[in-house]
């Protein structure tokens, strides 16, 4: 399969037409999309038109940009002007945003071709994409398994060869965990590194948009395009995006790598032995490449899950108050405004979203605020301090992305708590606001992909990508799902 870099280079030089690239990807979508359901919407005609614009620019001697003619799939919680943006929820039925998210504007300006909107857990709440109101996405490596979530559609689209690049959002692991389960690269940038303008809010102090790609260099290419200051997002860091591509070949000689002991299984249960073995091999590979490896303990990292499942629902309960039957999408009529609000929200939200709203409202209620929300915020501060201390000793930390490989559909839907446990290794970086990347590294005993996670301090993207490139270079070949390699 071509990387995004190859496609852009070919299209910019006129060796390949963007239109042909789109047709190849649409053909692959036609082959497997019915089975996988990666997309809520395939934008075939719009993609063809966008590709033709790129080809005309090339013919006119203009440079369409670093992603010229590259198909990109967008998680369906990213606003696209005039194009349905559903968050995989019935409550947004019929809503068409009047504006594009900043990341979408930047993609188009870079010559990318938006090929569709991908399925997700409703409002990005979940770890398997089974909470979509429109039915689950399946893992391209084994359709009886989940692709992870909540950005399962984006991860599956890249793994299946439907698009070489995709965007997701990561509030507690929703880019990294599905990337791991689908055998692709997924990265959560530093909080504020990528504009959230036009990302439908779940938990605003945690949400970040980030790239999915087939390899580390493609992920870096995409992040360079979407990152950097945006005055439309008040939490956006007022600096340009860090340059990453020049870092990838620098190697890891002398780089200090810390094995995050708690998240490797010495403080939490449930890290599968085969996953742990891949992390050990990845660490050994970095050491063989010249990195200096030591064990690092961050005791509070085990508290992240509990703090997250108070803070994230608290913010969600506030953010989702806007779906009142008046301003967006669905309305279920009733005699009074209050009854209309209730009827709309009852019909429009799925069970997990309702559960989060109730949890969050409870955690914020007057009698419990200090005991729950306040305490969770204190834990968050403790984690930030302990991770800061760890990064005095090492440049990056290493641990699993997900405790297991992809699990069967339905295996965890009956018990929300077991589903939440999936996020134990990814959540700390959301609470601290730090960047983290998942890189495919071998397979589990079941033959399914394993992701190894690298964590760094705020704005450490250059060093994180450098270490990720070294990890990728040392990794066994990642299996490709059936059909994904058919078109070059
Ligand atoms: N799985 C986590 C949750 O359900 C994380 C979701 C996300 O990152 N959007 O909240």
Question: Where do the domains of the chain lie, and which CATH numbers do they carry?
Answer: 4-299+385-474 (3.90.1300.10), 302-380 (no CATH)
d(CA 137, CA 36): 6
Tell whether the model's pLDDT for residue 487 goes beyond 50: no
pLDDT in tens, 415-435: 998 999 999 999 999 999 999
Token digits for 411? Answer: 């295996």
d(CA 199, CA 305): 23
Token digits for 378? Answer: 């204190």
Tell whether the model's pLDDT for residue 48 goes beyond 90: yes
Token digits for 257? Answer: 């790598």
Q: Is the CB of 312 under 6 A from ligand 1?
A: yes
Q: Give me the active site residues, please.
A: 75, 150, 174
Ligand 1 centre to CA of 170 (Å) is 7
pLDDT in tens, 97-143: 999 999 999 999 999 999 999 999 999 999 999 999 999 999 999 99
Q: Is the CB of 319 under 6 A from ligand 1?
A: no
pLDDT in tens, 199-218: 999 999 999 999 999 999 99
The residues pairing with 434 across neighbouring beta strands, listed in sequence order, are: none
Tokens 């005993």 correspond to what residue?
445
Ligand 1 centre to CA of 186 (Å) is 14
Q: Is the CB of 125 under 6 A from ligand 1?
A: yes
What is the chain's mean pLDDT, rounded? Answer: 97
Token digits for 357? Answer: 């709203």
As a whole number of Å, the end-to-end CA separation of the chain is 5
pLDDT in tens, 353-382: 999 999 999 999 989 899 999 999 999 999
d(CA 96, CA 104): 15
8-state DSSP, 477: P
Kindly report the number of other CB atoms within 10 A of residue 240's CB atom: 10
Percent of the chain with pLDDT over 70: 99
Measured by CA distance, the residue closest to atom 5 of ligand 1 is 172
pLDDT in tens, 295-350: 999 999 999 999 999 999 999 999 999 999 999 999 999 999 999 999 999 999 99
479: buried, middle or exposed (CB in 10 Å: 19+, 13-18, 0-12)?
middle
- Looking at residue 241, its pLDDT comes to 94
- Looking at residue 267, its pLDDT comes to 82
Ligand 1 centre to CA of 290 (Å) is 35
Q: Is the CB of 429 under 6 A from ligand 1?
A: no
Q: What is the DSSP string of 269-290?
A: S---HHHHHHHHHHHHHHHHTT
Ligand 1 centre to CA of 223 (Å) is 21
- Looking at residue 488, its pLDDT comes to 39
Q: What is the pTM of this model?
A: 0.98
The helix-helix angle for 304-319 and 351-364 (nearest 10°) equals 100
Token digits for 443? Answer: 């397979």
pLDDT (mean) for 405-417: 95
Judge contact between 67 and 115, C-beta under 8 A: no
Least confident interval from 38-47, 367-376, 457-466, 468-477 = 367-376
For residue 88, what are the contacts with CB-CB under 8 A and spacing of at least 6? 40, 76, 119, 120, 121, 122, 123, 131, 132, 133, 134
Q: Is the CB of 146 under 6 A from ligand 1?
A: no
Tell whether the model's pLDDT for residue 239 goes beyond 90: yes
Q: Which of 76, 77, 121, 146 to mutate to test the pocket of ligand 1 (most atoms within 8 A of CB)?
A: 121
pLDDT in tens, 380-402: 999 999 999 999 999 999 999 99
- Looking at residue 375, its pLDDT comes to 96
């Amino acid at each position: 399969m071509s990387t995004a870099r190859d496609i852009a280079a070919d299209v910019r030089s006129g060796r390949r037409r963007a239109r042909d690239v789109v047709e190849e990807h649409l053909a692959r979508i036609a082959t497997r999309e019915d089975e996988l359901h990666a997309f809520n919407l395939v934008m075939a005609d719009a993609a063809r038109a966008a590709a033709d614009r790129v080809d005309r620019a090339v013919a006119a001697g203009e440079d369409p940009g670093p992603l010229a003619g590259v198909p990109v799939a967008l998680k369906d919680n990213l606003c696209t002007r005039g194009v349905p943006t559903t968050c995989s929820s019935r409550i947004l039925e019929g809503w068409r945003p009047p504006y594009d998210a900043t990341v979408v504007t930047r993609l188009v300006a870079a010559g990318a071709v938006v090929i569709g909107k991908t399925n997700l857990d409703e409002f990005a709440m979940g770890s398997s994409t089974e909470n979509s109101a429109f039915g689950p996405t399946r893992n391209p490596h084994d359709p009886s398994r989940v692709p992870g979530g909540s950005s399962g559609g984006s991860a599956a689209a890249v793994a299946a060869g439907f698009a070489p690049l995709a965007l997701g959002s990561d509030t507690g692991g929703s880019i990294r965990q599905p990337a791991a389960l689908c055998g692709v690269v997924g990265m959560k940038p530093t909080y504020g590194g990528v504009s959230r303008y036009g990302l439908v809010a779940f938990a605003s102090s945690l949400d970040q948009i980030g790239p999915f790609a087939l390899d580390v260099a493609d992920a870096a290419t995409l992040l360079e395009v979407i990152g950097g200051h945006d005055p439309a997002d008040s939490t956006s860091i007022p600096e340009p995006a860090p340059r990453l591509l020049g870092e990838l070949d620098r190697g890891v000689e002398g780089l200090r790598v810390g094995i995050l002991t708690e998240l490797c299984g010495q403080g939490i249960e449930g890290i599968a032995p085969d996953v742990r073995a891949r992390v050990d091999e990845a660490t050994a590979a970095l050491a063989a490449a010249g990195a200096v490896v030591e064990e690092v303990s961050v005791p509070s990292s085990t508290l992240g899950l509990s703090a997250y499942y108070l803070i994230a629902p608290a913010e969600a309960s506030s953010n989702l108050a806007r779906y009142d039957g008046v301003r967006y999408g669905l309305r279920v009529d009733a005699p009074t405004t209050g009854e209309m609000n209730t009827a709309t929200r009852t019909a429009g939200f799925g069970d997990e979203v309702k559960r989060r709203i109730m949890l969050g409202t409870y955690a914020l209620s007057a009698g419990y605020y200090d005991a729950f929300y306040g305490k969770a915020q204190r834990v968050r501060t403790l984690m930030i301090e302990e991770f800061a201390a760890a990064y005095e000793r090492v440049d990056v930390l290493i641990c699993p992305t997900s405790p297991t490989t992809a699990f069967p559909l339905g295996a965890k839907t009956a018990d929300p708590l077991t589903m939440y446990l999936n996020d134990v290794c990814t959540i700390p970086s959301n609470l601290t606001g730090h960047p983290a990347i998942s890189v495919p590294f071998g397979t589990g005993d079941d033959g399914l992909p394993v992701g190894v996670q690298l964590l760094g301090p705020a704005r450490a993207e250059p060093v994180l990508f450098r270490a990720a490139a070294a990890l990728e270079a040392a990794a066994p070949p990642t299996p490709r799902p059936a059909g994904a390699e058919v078109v070059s």
